[in-house]
Amino acid sequence: MALQVKMRKYMHQSKFYEIPPYLLFLFLFKGTGFQSKNSYLFGHFSMRMKLVGGDSAGVVTAFYLSSQTNEHDEIDFEFLGNRTGQPYILQTNVFTGGKGDREQRIYLWYDPTKGFHDYGIIWNMDMLAFFVDNTPIRVFKNSKDLGVKYPFNQPMKLYSSLWEADDWATRGGLEKTNWANAPFIASYTSFHIDGCVASTPQEVQVCSTRGLKWWDQPAFKDLDGEQYRRLRWVRRKFTIYNYCSDKARYPTPPIECSRDRDV
């Protein structure tokens, strides 16, 4: 019992930060960002954001988790700006052991520059699930049994940043950033961290122990039926790119795609 009390004392952190509108600015070739102090291994992470309005071509607003190793793990939300009147693109990606190239892209079903919306990640030993306003938009399953690496042993910090990427972000780099519109501003009102704090091998081992946290209970091993219905709706109505379906890039789909029910 003493060990269990000690583990829970230093392992689990659940914090909801409600803040006055916090702004990130992008000036000419100078972006901004912030990060968590702690690193986490598994949990629920979310950010309430309003994206850059107007002509935001070439501008990327990012919310992601990343480890700090050469063969790093990373879980990405990247919002790709566009010309005024054209829709934002939300790109998600998953890096494991330093390997990414797992991009999926969707349009959003609302204007993300007109109000604040919630973007979240549930990360446990069975799956990564990406959510927009509690609607699942992507699931990446643990496929270690198929030989696919999964982020299970590298603690990650939470980051958000605003930066210029006009060499690729908008129409493959055809649309360049109009710096006459600077500063570009992304706004935040809250973020939520409910994760297992891990910075030592001992803490990593404890965070990897099943059954101690709510996100590691059987109900969170997979999406439920209603969540899959919503995911299919997103796939059918809003998906514009999925690496699993890119036959020119991958004549044989990556093996983890066999676990994607909706491809």
Domain count, the chain: 1
Selecting among 71, 78, 103, 175, the annotated active-site residue is 78
Q: What is the pTM of this model?
A: 0.91
131, 111, 106, 138: which is closest to 239 by C-alpha?
A: 106
Under 8 Å between Cβ of 34 and 17: no
- Residue 207: in which H helix or E strand, if any? helix 201-207
Residue tagged active-site, from 18, 74, 164, 175: 74
Residue 191 domain boundaries: 2-259
DSSP helix/strand/coil, 231: helix
* pLDDT tens per residue across all 263 residues of the chain: 232 323 333 355 565 555 556 788 888 767 889 999 999 999 999 999 999 999 999 999 999 999 999 999 999 999 999 998 899 999 999 999 999 999 999 999 999 999 999 999 999 999 999 999 999 999 999 999 999 999 999 999 999 999 998 999 998 988 999 999 999 999 999 889 999 999 899 999 999 998 889 999 999 999 999 999 999 999 999 999 999 999 999 999 999 999 886 54
Determine whether 78 is an active site residue: yes
Task: CATH number of the domain at 15, please.
Answer: 2.60.120.200
Q: DSSP code of 176?
A: P
Pairing label, strands 12-26, 184-197: antiparallel
183 prior amide bond cis, ω within 30: yes
